[in-house]
Structure 1
């Protein structure tokens, strides 16, 4: 559980850093990297919630 939170937090932080670099340098590559990182953050968050749901289902059965 702690690992998922750490991964999502680090991904969000790195996405923000990429978008800040895009604003600072106006290079499109930083925006693309930021978008890719945000996409992976969404995937990690979905995995986190899937684990939570499976834990609750296991307890209920």
Structure 2
């Protein structure tokens, strides 16, 4: 679970950094990179929550 949290936090930080660079430079490439990172952050969050749910289901069975 620690790995999921670390990946989630690093993806989120990288996405925020890309958005900050986009605001500073107004180069569209940074906005595209930030959007891709945010998408992967959402996917990582869904994966982490699915692992938590599966752990709970296994304990109930």
TM class, shorter-length: over 0.9
Q: Which residue of 2 aligns with 1:24?
A: 24
Instruction: Give, in whole Å, the separation in 1 of the partners of 2:28 and 2:48.
Output: 30
The answer for unaligned runs of 5 or more in structure 2 is none
Normalising by structure 2, we get a TM-score of: 0.98
- Spell out structure 1 runs of 4+ moving beyond 4 A: none
Query: 1:52 Cα shift?
Result: 0.3
For 1:1-61, list aligned pairs within 5 A. 1-61=1-61
Equivalenced residues, count: 61
Query: 1:14 Cα shift?
Result: 0.1
CA deviation map 1:7-61 (0-9, x unaligned): 0000000000100000110000000000000000000000000000000000001
The answer for unaligned runs of 5 or more in structure 1 is none
